[in-house]
A and B are shown apart, each in its own frame.
Chain A
Amino acid sequence: MNIILEAKNLAKTYLVNKREKHVLKNINMSIKEGELICVMGPSGSGKSTLLYNISGMDKMTAGDVIFNGTGLGDLSEEELSRLRLDKMGFVFQQINLLKNLGIIDNIVMSAYMAKNRSRKEINQQAINLMKKTNIIELADNDITQASGGQLQRAAICRALINNPEIIFGDEPTGALNSRAAREVMDVFHTVNSEGTTVMIVTHDVKVASQSERVLFMMDGSIVGEYLLGKFNRLEDNLKHRERKLASWLLEMGF
């Protein structure tokens, strides 16, 4: 399988009270096309910062990130924006829908901005996505008129509207109850099974155990990797995968 994204000696340093804080230290990692990968680690280990840096949202301090053969370090802010708009999708813990737009507007906006397709085509895709995620009846609703799980599914629709090559999830189930979390993970699996690469940052063993591979971070470095293999929702025993992963995590000091 081809590598879609690769980090080479990636480092990120912040200045906090005039002192350097190394949040990411010399990270080397890669993500394969069509993979569903999770990054785990304790709070403050640098998981989210890793996600922001490999997606070009934040400027790395050193090293480089190669996305589909393009080095992100060489791109201007404008080019990075365009790359995120066209090729990447994002789902956040805080959901982060635009509060002044209705649900369907939130979904179609970034596609309208990308101007790659006709509005008719975009609208049709938005409707299809909402049907697929079971929120079609909320299309005209205000974002205050939906539950957390429904909003997160809307956010996934937004992330998918431009047919991205990769979706990043930053604790996408962190603010949801277990049922809503399951629904959201189901959507991720569907998307992944259709060929989209997914990278999720999470605390949740249940979520991580559904991935192919888990990276474990501590103090800004990747300290371990655990291969679970592709998860088959119909055949695999999730509890079993969870237990295996949990015992490994325990070993890693999680």
Chain B
Amino acid sequence: MKHIIVAKRGEIMIFKILKRDFFRKKVITIAVFVFVMLSALLAASGTNLLIDLSNSLDYLFKKASAPHFVQYHAGDIEQKQIAEWSEANPYVKSQQTSEMINIDGAKIYINSDLSESDTVMDLGFVKQNRTFDYLLNLDNEIITVNEAEIAVPIHYMQSKDLSIGDKLVIKDDNLELNFTITHFVRDAQMNPSVVSSKRFVVSSADFEKLKNGTGEIEYLISFQLIDRADLNKFSNQYSRSVLPKKGPAIDYQLLLLFNSLTDGIIAVVIIIISFLLNIIALLCLRFVILLTIEEDYKEIGVMKAIGISPPDIKRIYISKYFVIALGASLSGYLFSLFVNKIFSKNIMLYIGKAPKSIFMSGIPLLAAFIIGLIVVFFSMIVLRRLNKISPVEAIRMGNTGGNYSNNEKFSLYKSKLLNTNIFLGIRDVVLRFKFYILLFFVFILATFIIIVPLNLLNTLQSEGFVTYMGLGQSDIIMDIRQSDQIVERFEEVKTYLESDLDVKRYSPLVTSTYEIMNIDNLPESIYIETGDLTVFPIDYIEGMAPLQANEIALSYLSANEYEKQVGDEVQLISNKNTRSMLVTGIYQDVTNGGRTAKANIEPNYETATWFNIYVDVDKDIFKKIQEYELVFEDVKIIGQKGYLEQTFGNTIEQLRLLTITAIIVAILVTVLITSLFLKMLIARDKSQIAIKKSIGISIKDIKIEYITKSLLVLNIGIIIGTLISNTLGQKLFSVILAMMGAPKFKFIINPIEAYILSPVMMIIIVTLTTLLSINSIRQITIADINVE
């Protein structure tokens, strides 16, 4: 009976403690709730996005009956030969050869008077396929079109804001065809924006007209296999066969990758952000628990003294965090149901809606629940501190147990630092650092999310980035446009430059397609830039430039693919002759899929794709560009900076947006957490502040102490954050860029932005936030604590 009464009294006391705890720490308790909720929301949405992505892709690929292997071929084919080979092949389930007419954008008008002449897309016109690789409409049904009707890729529906009934015209000197848009095409093969070819569906009759009238035919030799697991064996067999292969080949894996790239990256980013928020939530929580324990130190001691068992005490505290964790993760999940639609919009449009099982719907709930569980588990770990409280000490000393005054080494009396306020601030941070971890982590995080995009942006914008594009540094780049007289035009420009006195040096380089024998001893086409490569030397990560006609430099990815190192030989096929080339150097290149080569050999004009001339001038570059633009027709002339801008303009624009967003988010999180933290700190230090004020320490002096604390933690945070950005952040991107062809990627850092502007910005923001947050010092008087 006595035991029950004691316990009851204890519980009432605990309830009072928790109630008071909530009201005293309203703001930070709400902050913990919000962070856990956002974290749960993003975890649920991220997983939901991944599930939607794979589910919808599966469904689309099934409905469209996606091909497992497609060989593009520009040239004639022998369908009988293909059919016989397929018949004999043990892996093939079905084979289909379809024709695609590639039409120049200049001849196509999509609901506009302006043609598509500037497009970077290859526009292909096809009939609906017969046996597989179907082109679907937005309801995932196989499209059928009548004469004068056309189905247009979703990409155009979005970029040109098209609707059913809009017009499309194909027009050149000897043909004009008018179409009405009746469907939009969901194309398992060419949907993603990263794929630069798009398929339009027309009727058989219109297809014949186009075929006879305009454009070039490309064949899609497609296969479906009995078992997709045999894909590698099959593609090896195909590449060894005599079947046509003038063009790229793609397979099912690649299609999956392309289709899931954009949304997959978004999903991963969302999940990463969710984890970061969760870490912030956990640190906030830890901070609240530490504060609560310090404040309730005496009460906890009393509870222990009157016989309430430690697990009972712990359980009551846990119950509060359990309610927060469960409530926050559940509401996070509920919110995610609304947010999901926004995140999945792109998937729903491009890949389509697919039926979902209950199991799949349950996974995001599970993800949110796991976030809540982590929070509960974490608070249990932090609450282990309760065990350490000795009732006797707690009651006798009556204070917080968080003292650290007995530290002779860090005594004010022995300090040499002249300013006492600054010394006290530093001393508190150093001796009580575990208390400041929340702030410290947030400052590191804020620095990281500002510096990494900033450095990346600066790297992409800097002229030094050409290093990763297999280019040397030059003032001007000329690009002779494709035409029938391109070779003559090329020679004309060279002659002009030869006699131009302003030209310091120039180097004409032609990029043509050759074939190199790969490790399976099969010819594989590759872009080789030919000419004198020593005029505008590039950086080689190994070796040096090829000088002789039997020497070649390989890009990093080519060298990896052919398994060659400097000093090895490769077999080059040019004009049907095979010759041995000595690898003299390996360089970084992210262009053309990262697979290129350079050699000082004669160009192959028949397969030449690009005719470039690199020029260094003595005069003002801009004026020279203007002069050349007047002299040469059909030549694109740009400064190197302009070249980079054109190539990466879009990426830079997006990255700039991302950088600004990152800076805003970093500032918001910094301001929020700094002000929360300081308000709590002031509440905790109330009695100490009151004592200082009573004996005549001025508010200004006390403020200096608190600003010292924030700025010390901030500066350590900035230093560590910057170090992590420049090591881990750089590593992160070098892994990605290594896949693209530049393994030695290094941030090109703008020291003023990264090391002066952004730290100064953070210092100003944190100082102002601190000043605003500690203003309550003014209201604290000795009467407050003596009454308690």
- Tell me which of A85, A93, A100 has the highest count of chain B C-beta atoms within 10 A of its own C-beta: A100
CB-CB under 8 A from A186, the residues of chain B are: none
- Taking CB atoms and an 8 Å cut-off, the chain A residues in 99-120 that contact chain B are 99-102, 104-105, 108-110, 112-113
Considering the chains assembled together, what is the distance between the CA atoms of A96 and B786 in angstroms?
9
Q: Is the CB of A88 closer than 8 A to any CB of chain B?
A: yes
B175 interfacial by beta-carbon distance below 8 Å: no
Complex interface residues of chain B between 735 and 788 (CB less than 8 A to chain A): 778, 781-783, 785-786
For the complex, is B397 an interface residue (Cβ under 8 Å from A)?
yes
Given contacts A96-B691, A105-B413, contact A88 B405 (CB under 8 A): no
> Distance in Å from the Cβ of A182 to the closest Cβ of chain B?
24
B413 contacts A123, C-beta separation under 8 Å: yes
Q: In chain B between 659 and 702, which residues have their CB closer than 8 angstroms to a CB of chain A?
A: 687-688, 691-701
A57 touches B782 (CB 8 A): yes
CA distance A23 to B687 in the complex (A): 23
Confirm or deny: A143 has a beta carbon within 8 angstroms of a beta carbon on chain B.
yes
Q: Encode B421-449 as 1/0 by CB contact (under 8 A) with A.
A: 10010001001100000000000000000
The answer to whether the Cβ of A61 comes within 8 Å of any Cβ in the partner chain is no
**A81 and B696 form a contact (CB under 8 A):** yes
Q: Which residues of B contact A141 (CB under 8 A)?
A: 406
Question: Which of B432, B687, B782 is packed against the most chain A CB atoms within 10 Å?
Answer: B782
Is A204 an interface residue when CB atoms closer than 8 A count as contact? Answer: no
Question: Which of A52, A81, A100 is B697 in contact with, Cβ under 8 Å?
Answer: A81
Binary flags per residue of A116-149, CB closer than 8 Å to B gives 1, else 0? 0000000100100000000000011111110000
Task: Please pick, from A77, A104, A112, A144, the residue contacting B403 in the complex, using a CB distance under 8 A.
Answer: A144
> In the complex the two chains form, is B699's CB within 8 Å of A109's CB?
no
A92 within 8 A of B: yes
Residues of A within 8 A of B700 (CB): 78
Which residues of B have CB within 8 Å of A57? 693-694, 781-782
Please tell me if the beta carbons of A109 and B412 are within 8 angstroms of each other in the complex.
yes
Q: Which residues of A contact B701 (CB under 8 A)?
A: 113
CA distance A243 to B399 in the complex (A): 39
How far, in angstroms, from A47 to B406 measured CA to CA in the complex?
35
A78 and B700 alpha carbons, distance in the complex (Å) = 8
The reply on B81 being an interface residue by CB < 8 A is no
Q: Is A32 an interface residue (CB 8 A)?
A: no
Q: Are A99 and B405 in contact, with the CB atoms below 8 A?
A: yes
Contact B786 A81 (CB under 8 A): no
Q: Which of A43-79 contact B (CB under 8 A)?
A: 48-49, 52, 57-58, 77-78
Q: Which residues of B contact A158 (CB under 8 A)?
A: 695
- Contact mask B404-420 → A, CB, 8 Å, 1/0? 11111001110000001
Contacts of B428 in A (CB 8 A): 100
| Alpha-carbon distance A159/B691, docked complex (angstroms) | 12
Q: Are A83 and B403 in contact (CB under 8 A)?
A: no
A86, A104, A112, A140: the one within 8 Å of B420 (CB)? A112
* A192 interfacial by beta-carbon distance below 8 Å: no
Residue ID in chain A nearest B406 by CB atoms: A142
Query: Which residues of chain A are near B431, meaning CB under 8 Å?
Result: 100
Are A104 and B697 interface neighbours, CB within 8 A?
A: no
The reply to whether A110 and B695 contact each other, CB–CB distance below 8 Å, is yes
Smallest Cβ-Cβ distance to A168: which chain B residue? B694
State whether A52 touches B397 (Cβ < 8 A): no
Q: Does A98 contact B (CB under 8 A)?
A: yes
Does A188 lie at the interface of the complex (its beta carbon under 8 Å from any beta carbon of B)?
Answer: no
A58→B405 CA distance, assembly (Å): 29
| Inter-chain contact A100/B688, CB cutoff 8 Å | yes
Q: Mark B377-417, 1 if CB is under 8 A from A, else 0.
A: 00000000000000000000101100111111001110000
A100 touching B405, Cβ below 8 Å:
yes
Q: Which residue of A is nearest B691, CB measured? A: A96
CB contacts (< 8 Å) of A49 on chain B: these are: 783
- Is the beta-carbon distance between A102 and B411 smaller than 8 angstroms? yes
Task: Check if A82 is an interface residue, CB within 8 A of chain B.
Answer: yes
B699 close to A142 (CB less than 8 A) = no
Question: A52 to B784, alpha carbons, bound, how many Å?
Answer: 12
Q: Which residues of B contact A86 (CB under 8 A)?
A: 696
Contact A96 B420 (CB under 8 A): no
Separation of A253 and B428 alpha carbons in the complex (Å): 50
Contact, CB under 8 Å: A144 / B696:
no
**Is B406 within 8 A of A102, CB to CB?**
yes
**A102, B408: Cβ atoms under 8 Å?**
yes
Instruction: Return B125 CB to nearest CB of chain A, in Å.
Output: 79
CB pair A98–B420 under 8 Å, yes or no, is no
- Which interface class (under 10, 10 to 19, 20 to 34, 35 or more) fits A? 35 or more
What separation, in Å, do the CA atoms of A96 and B694 have in the docked complex?
10
CA distance A108 to B694 in the complex (A): 16
Task: Tell me, in angstroms, the Cα distance from A81 to B403 when the chains sit together.
Answer: 27
Taking the nearest CB of chain A, how far is it from the CB of B75, in angstroms? 83
* List of A residues within 8 angstroms of B693 by Cβ: 57, 81
Complex CA–CA separation, A222 to B382 (angstroms): 54
A26 at the interface (CB under 8 A from B): no
Docked Cα-Cα span, A139 to B700, in Å, equals 28
> Which residues of B sit under 8 angstroms from A109, Cβ to Cβ?
412, 420, 424
A186 to B698: give the CA distance in the assembly, Å: 31
Residue of B nearest to A158 (CB): B695
Whether A58 touches B783, Cβ cut-off 8 Å, given contacts A82-B696, A102-B411, A110-B697, is: yes
Q: Is A28 at the interface (CB under 8 A from chain B)?
A: no
Q: Are the C-beta atoms of A83 and B696 separated by less than 8 Å?
A: yes
For A83, the chain B residues whose CB sits under 8 A away are 696
Q: Shortest beta-carbon distance, B389 to chain A, in Å?
A: 15
Interchain CB contact (< 8 A) of B695 among A52, A85, A93 = A85
| B408, B421, B688: the one within 8 Å of A98 (CB) | B688
Contact across chains for B400 and A99 when beta carbons are under 8 A apart: yes
Asked whether, in the complex, the Cβ of A85 is within 8 Å of the Cβ of B420, the reply is no
Cα of A144 to Cα of B786 in the assembled complex, Å: 19
Contact between chains at A84 and B688 (CB < 8 Å): no
A90 within 8 A of B: yes
Q: Which residues from chain B contact A89 at a C-beta distance below 8 Å?
A: 695
**What chain B residues lie within 8 Å of A58 (beta carbons)?**
781, 783
Do A142 and B405 have beta carbons less than 8 Å apart? yes
- What are the residues of chain B within 8 A of A94 when measuring CB–CB? 785-786
The residues in A between 157 and 175 inclusive whose CB is less than 8 angstroms from any CB of B are: 158-159, 170
Measured CA separation A113–B688 after assembly (Å): 16
Is B696 touching A84 in the complex (CB atoms < 8 A)? yes
**In the complex, are the beta carbons of B783 and A52 less than 8 A apart?**
yes
Known: A52-B782, A145-B406. A81 touches B699 (CB 8 A): yes
Q: How far is the CA of A99 from the CA of B413 in the complex (A)?
A: 15
A98-B404 in contact given A52-B783, A144-B397 (Cβ < 8 Å): no
**Do A85 and B697 contact each other (CB < 8 Å), given the known contacts A98-B692, A140-B411?**
yes
Q: CA of A86 to CA of B691 in the docked complex: distance in angstroms? A: 16
In whole Å, how far is B16's beta carbon from the nearest beta carbon of chain A?
A: 21
**Residues on A with beta carbons closer than 8 Å to the beta carbon of B694:** 57, 84, 90, 92, 96
How far, in whole Å, are A45 and B598 apart by their CA atoms in the complex? 97
In the bound complex, how far is the Cα of B787 from the Cα of A122, in angstroms? Answer: 33
Q: How far is the CA of A90 from the CA of B693 in the complex (A)?
A: 11
What is the CA–CA distance of A100 and B408 in the complex, to the nearest angstrom? 12
Name the CB-closest residue of A to B423: A112
- Which of B405, B698, B782 is the one whose CB lies under 8 Å from A102? B405
How long is the Cα–Cα vector from A109 to B424 in the complex, in angstroms?
10
CA distance A98 to B428 in the complex (A): 12
What per-residue 1/0 map shows which CB atoms of B696-712 lie under 8 Å from chain A? Answer: 11111100000000000
- Residues of chain A with a CB closer than 8 A to B412's CB: 101, 105, 108-109, 112
Residues of A near B688 (CB, < 8 A) are 98-100
Evaluate contact between A48 and B695: CB separation under 8 angstroms. Answer: no
CB-defined A-B contacts under 8 Å, sample of 16:
A52-B782, A57-B782, A78-B698, A81-B697, A93-B786, A96-B691, A96-B782, A99-B688, A104-B411, A105-B411, A108-B413, A112-B420, A113-B420, A113-B697, A139-B413, A140-B408
Q: A89-B695, A93-B786, A113-B696 are in contact. List 14 more A-B contacts (CB 8 A).
A: A77-B778, A78-B700, A81-B696, A82-B696, A84-B696, A94-B786, A99-B405, A100-B405, A100-B688, A139-B413, A143-B403, A144-B399, A144-B403, A144-B406
A-B pairs with lowest CB-CB distance, top 6: A85-B696, A84-B696, A142-B406, A81-B698, A105-B412, A112-B420
